[in-house]
């Protein structure tokens, strides 16, 4: 049976995080993940996870000044102190809630200096924790100017650093928007994948919409030997509960 994780950045995002965790459990999810949980006391998240028996699969480092359009700090030259403070905060929070992974957000940057800074900050993060450090390419339509754009770029960084707990966040939505050929890309990169996420292409709705054929993708994921929950990171086209028919269908 395919298992799924509720991304609480998009699902039940009208609820406080502890209540969203309980809603995910009640709806049949096997795990949860989030974006930026830092305004919620970690003890409340930990209590909700223990109550429901769900695992927190991951969280993101802070984006920086969101009002100024920032979307991560770790590839920004001259911002290393802020980037590492964001990494330290994410590790502290992940330790408190026993999150499996931390997505280190690169931010909007370009060029060789950004590449060098990103690698230095990733090495710092990976050295500070045994938890999985994830990097995720974001498509140019949703995140113009983001440093990490493709799986080819991401896999090159992972190969260059050769750090055992640095992995790729393979988001079928972003790959579908930027590169296409999702199953082939996933198959080729499978050995460095640390987490898989899903949403429809092109509108990031529930995965029984759009142009990607998720039954085929789920079959390929299973054949590759993936046994962990797959992250449902989509924007419901209404109340979350009304968008979950796809999950009960595919879980069978």
Marked catalytic residue, from 136, 160, 211, 241: 136
Give the phi and the psi of residue 192 in degrees, each rounded to 5. -110, 5
Compute the distance between CA of residue 84 and CA of residue 98 in angstroms, rounded to an integer.
20
| 233 in catalytic set | yes
**How long is the chain?**
252
Catalytic residue status for 136? yes
What are phi and psi for residue 206, nearest 5 degrees? -60, 150
> Of the listed 33, 50, 179, 233, which one is catalytic?
233
Residue tagged 């931390």 (tokens): 102
Query: How far is 21 from 129, CA to CA, in rounded Å?
Result: 25
| Residues pairing with 101 in the sheet | 58, 132
Q: Which residues are catalytic?
A: 136, 233
């Amino acid at each position: 049976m395919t298992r799924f994780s509720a991304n609480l950045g998009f699902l039940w995002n009208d609820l406080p995080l502890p209540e969203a965790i309980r809603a995910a459990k009640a709806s049949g999810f096997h795990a949860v993940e989030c974006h930026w949980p830092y305004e919620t006391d970690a003890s409340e998240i930990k209590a909700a996870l223990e109550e429901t028996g769900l695992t927190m699969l991951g969280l993101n480092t802070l984006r920086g000044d969101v009002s100024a359009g920032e979307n991560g700090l770790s590839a920004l030259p001259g911002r290393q102190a802020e980037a590492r403070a964001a990494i330290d905060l994410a590790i502290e929070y992940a330790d408190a809630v026993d999150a499996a992974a931390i997505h280190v957000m690169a931010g909007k940057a370009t060029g060789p200096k950004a590449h060098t800074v990103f690698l230095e900050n990733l090495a710092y993060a990976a050295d500070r924790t045994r938890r999985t450090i994830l990097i995720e390419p974001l498509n140019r339509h949703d995140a113009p100017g983001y440093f990490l754009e493709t799986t080819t770029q991401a896999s090159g960084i992972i190969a260059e650093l050769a750090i055992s707990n640095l992995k790729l966040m393979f988001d079928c939505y972003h790959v579908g928007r930027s590169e296409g050929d999702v199953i082939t890309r996933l198959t080729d990169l499978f050995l460095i994948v640390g987490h898989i996420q899903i949403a429809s292409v092109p509108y990031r709705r529930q995965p029984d919409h759009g142009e990607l054929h998720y039954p085929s993708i789920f079959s390929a994921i299973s054949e590759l030997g993936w046994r962990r929950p797959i992250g449902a990171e989509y924007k419901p086209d209404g109340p979350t509960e009304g968008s979950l028919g796809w999950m009960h269908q595919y879980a069978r």
